Amino acid sequence: MKHVTIKDVAKRLNVSISSVSRAFNDKYDIKKETKELILKTAEEMGYFPNPIAKKLSQNKTFNIGVVVPEFINEYYSEIIIGIQEVFMAHGYQVLIAQSDEKPEIELKNVKTLIHSMVDGLIIAPTMDSGNMEYYLKELNAGYPIVFMSRVKETLEASKVYFNNKKWAFFAAEHLIRQRYKNIYYLAGYKSLNVSIDRIEGFKRAMNKHKIPKENYKVIETGLLAEEGMQVIEDLIYNHDLPDAIFCFNDRVAMGAIAKLKSNGIKVPEDIAVMGFTETRMVDLITPKLSSVKQPTFDMGKNAAELLFKQINNSLMEPQTIVLNGELTIRESSVRN
């Protein structure tokens, strides 16, 4: 049960502790034979360098922290996998915390992670939180942080995000090209940075194609299917139905479709629906859902690589990476 330490190995072979250490980190002078002998007996004795001790003496934990709003949905799960792939290859452990969309919890998580001495942080902020001041303070103190996904363009820090404006524009334009005349955008939370950008993209498409102001609308929903359903219910109640709906995400879209169908409204014959942030479900529902795919995996990888560079001081200036996606038209948004 007792752990084998470097001393035990040294004593066994009558060599010094230093020699054993050198054998394991082969950057120093050591004779090939002694090195091999040491490694061999260490193996036999079941010795491996104690990572905690290593962390202490090097003042590095080889841990990084990731704070996301949630990872129930595949979006952040996939991002995390991208991050893990990069960092595990470098021998790092990735600590994951979720803020449950609450800025207070996010801040608490960040502080916990910093206190547990992670070498760097990747943060996907919740709503546009007051936490930014705190993060910027840490950044200025030289702490490596990369922001991800829900970030302001103007933020003075390394960041990776999706070009929401552009792809919301494309999605909206697609609906216009399909000759839908009344288009509503179910916009998620308006206070979310990504929402603001997508609304802008949506409006830009409306303007470009000279859709009159009274023919489109931006309606605040939430992020959940239930909230999509609620909005549709309200619209039905108010006899205020458009002929096309563009949704903040696939969940909202699926909620909307379900509610429309249960009211005998056909998709896309009566009303077209377009999702966003494509999920695996798009092909499995009827009608198949048009959506914009985000490169989740790449977002994680890019953020991780930026952070890794920052940790190793090979990145001097904050860098921004803006990612593009893919618009796939399926059944839910086409005229027959």
Binding site for DNA (CB under 7 A): 3, 5-7, 14-19, 21-22, 24-25, 27-32, 34-35, 47-50, 52-54, 56-59
Whole-angstrom distance, CA of residue 76 vs CA of residue 95: 14
Among 1, 14, 29, 264, binds its own copies (CB under 8 A): 1
User: Using an 8 Å Cβ cutoff, are 76 and 148 in contact?
Assistant: no
Q: Does 28 bind its own copies (CB under 8 A)?
A: no
User: Using an 8 Å Cβ cutoff, are 201 and 271 in contact?
Assistant: no
Residue 89 contact among its own copies, DNA, none, beta carbon within 5 to 8 Å by kind: none
Cα atoms in the Cβ-side hemisphere of radius 13 Å centred on 227? 16
Q: Does 126 bind its own copies (CB under 8 A)?
A: no
Strands (E), the chain: 63-68, 93-98, 121-123, 145-148, 158-162, 183-186, 216-219, 244-247, 272-274, 291-293, 320-323, 326-328
User: Using an 8 Å Cβ cutoff, are 120 and 112 in contact?
Assistant: no
159 forms beta bridges with 147, 320
The interface region with its own copies, picked from 79-87, 192-200, 209-217, 239-247 by CB under 8 A, is 79-87
Site for its own copies, residues 277 to 316, rule: CB under 8 A: 280-281, 283-286
Site for its own copies, residues 136 to 165, rule: CB under 8 A: 141-142
- Residue number with CB closer to its own copies (54 or 217): 54
The interface region with its own copies, picked from 160-168, 176-184, 210-218, 254-262 by CB under 8 A, is 254-262
Residue 261 contact among its own copies, DNA, none, beta carbon within 5 to 8 Å by kind: its own copies
The distance of closest approach from Cβ of residue 140 to DNA in the complex, given in angstroms and rounded to an integer, is 21
For residue 116, give Cα distances in angstroms to 71, 121, 122, 286, 311: 22, 12, 15, 48, 16
- Residue number with CB closer to its own copies (49 or 318): 49
